[in-house]
Amino acid sequence: MTAESVLAGKVVLVTGGGTGLGQGIAARLAAEGAAVAIMGRTQKTLAQTAAQLAEAGHKCIVCVGSIAVPDSVEEAITEVERQLGPIDVLVNNASLAHYASFLGTDIVDWKRVLETNLTGAFLMTQRVARRMKSAGRGGSIVNIASIDAQGTDGHQVSYGVAKTGIIGLTRIAATELAKYGIRVNAVSPGWTRTDMITEHVTAKALDHLTNDFRRVPMRRLVEIDEVARAVAFLASSAASGITGVDLPVDCGTLSNLYIYETLPSD
């Protein structure tokens, strides 16, 4: 059974679906048969993504709102149900990054990142799961975490803490919701070829990341569709016996502790 056949007719909501990874996930799930709703705070990017999917022959609607605001979450879910029907799959992808050292992280920035990256995922998961339970249809929830949940990766204190929290949220929700037929899993991308990377590193760094990324066993960046295909698998009934897991898509980064390679040669 293919992911395409099991996602046909399913209703999917992707947060942060207007750009980058969320856009790629929405496109992949739509291509595999799902009716897709994308949620975010920027109407323009959401509309552009929806237009691209419509041009490709896929059904996509837009919900503008903040996942960190309970009323906004409820309004978005209600709108998806009104236009597409009950939600079968939720993908919690919306995320913010803030770059600062531990000692230099401001409480305002800390709260802003945690509210979106962790509280927002909690609210979306809780409110969608309530609807899934009431409908008695079960469902699948996929949280986008990060390999940053497994160790520090530069000065992204609030981001790393939030993504660590996502792994905990995934396991707790998976345990409590299993009896309702609701599966909850996470996907943890490694360094991925998104605009966040390509537009914010030097040309030399990008060439290294693309052609000779020595820290990573596969020596390259992850591609967006590689993450999206992992999401599609976990969202589908092909993963019917899987819940509470974190699936890294990182070209092997976490498989290597990178100690031996850094030892002096003499």
Centroid of chain to Cα 105: 24
pLDDT in tens, 198-227: 877 899 999 999 899 999 999 999 999 999
For the chain, which residues make up each domain, given as ranges? 3-194+223-262
Both structure tokens of 113: 């990142």
Could you list the active site residues?
A: 159
Q: What is the pLDDT of residue 153?
A: 87
Beta strands in 93-147 (DSSP E): 139-144
Amino acid at 39: M
Topology of domain 3-194+223-262, CATH: Rossmann fold (3.40.50)
Phi, psi of 32 (to 5 degrees): -95, 15
Rounded to the nearest 10°, the torsion over CA 223, 227, 228, 231 is: 170
Q: What is the pLDDT of residue 5?
A: 58
pTM here is: 0.95
Tell me which residue of 20, 73, 8, 11 sits closest to 194, measured CA to CA. 20
Using the predicted structure, report yes or no on whether residue 4 has a pLDDT greater than 60.
no
Q: What is the pLDDT of residue 169?
A: 98
